[in-house]
Structure 1
Amino acid sequence: MQTLDYIIIALKVIVSLSILNVWLIQPKKNTKWRGGDATTIIEEFNCYGLSKTICYIIGFLKVSLAILLLVSIKFEELTIVSSLGLATLLLGSILMHLKIKDPLFKSFPAFLFVVMNLIIAYFSY
């Protein structure tokens, strides 16, 4: 394995565990990154004008794609769909922050993870 391969694996782990942390461990925790004045992930989606059902659908997709991204460390053919899928959903997160006129810093984690996913996809293609 080359150095780049290890970097891609590290990025996959960082992105996946971060997404899983947000959706499975801290969905009810207040953070400075939450949209609007929300203190939970459900409240955040409400600030965006999105329903609880949409929150659950997005959560399911993000968790599933994060797990696939981890699995792609062993099964590389899953890399493109999982990294680009996450990048797309995270781009949606950025757009939602912009929609409600959040300060730009609240979009930073999503932006960072979009970039990381695009790097993963680019160097895995």
Structure 2
Amino acid sequence: MHYLIIALQLIVGLSILNVWLVQYNKDTKWRGGSATTIFEEFAAYGLPVWSTYVVGAIKVVLSVLLIVAIWFPALRYPAAIGLAAMLAGSVVMHFKIGDPLFKSFPAALFLVMCLIIAFVG
């Protein structure tokens, strides 16, 4: 079970870092509304530009902490719970603007993974 939790930490942490540091300016089928970038996505949610930076910074820091928690287990629970809360917000935003269910799938999947990391690990 220990190795499964580590694998989940890496999957979630690296995936979120990828979204926010590599793919932020690229069109994907998961973006909210008809957005092609992360800034357009936040605009589609009705959020101000500054919130993109705040949410991004929080998700990046928590993702790094989740990965670091492989070596410092005391960080695992707060990082996983923090990311779970942020991902729950992502799912809610998709529902708020009436996105098809599949667009919220990655956020929902990573939310479940974070809860497993927090409560099973």
TM-score, scaled to structure 1 = 0.96
2:66 to 69, 73, 80: 69
Distance in 2 (CA, whole Å) between partners of 1:60 and 1:29 is 18
Q: Percent identity?
A: 59
Alignment of 1:16 with 2:13, yes or no, is: yes
Q: What is the match of residue 110 of structure 2?
A: 113
Distance of 2:66 and 2:82 partners within structure 1: 10
Q: Which amino acid aligns with 1:32?
A: K
Q: Structure 2: which 5+ runs fail to align? A: none
1:1-125 pair list within 5 angstroms: 4-124=1-121
Shift of residue 11, structure 1, vs aligned partner: 0.1
1:68-100 alpha-carbon deviations (Å, 9 max, x no partner): 000000000001110000000000000000000
Please report how far the alpha carbon of residue 6 of structure 1 lies from its aligned counterpart in structure 2 after TM superposition.
0.2
Matched letter for residue 52 of structure 2:
C
The superposition leaves residues 20-71 of structure 1 with CA deviations (integer Å, 9 ceiling, x where unpaired) of 0000001000000000000000000000000110010000000000000000
CA RMSD of the aligned region, Å?
0.4
Compute the displacement of 1:123 (Å): 1.7
Query: What SS does the corresponding residue of 1:56 show, helix, strand or coil?
Result: helix
Partner Cα distance (1:106, 1:49) in 2: 17
Question: How far apart in 2 are the matches of 1:51 and 1:25?
Answer: 21
Q: How many residues are matched?
A: 121
Q: Which runs of 5 or more residues in structure 1 are unaligned?
A: none
> Per-residue CA shift, 1:93-113, capped at 9, x if unaligned?
000000000000000000000
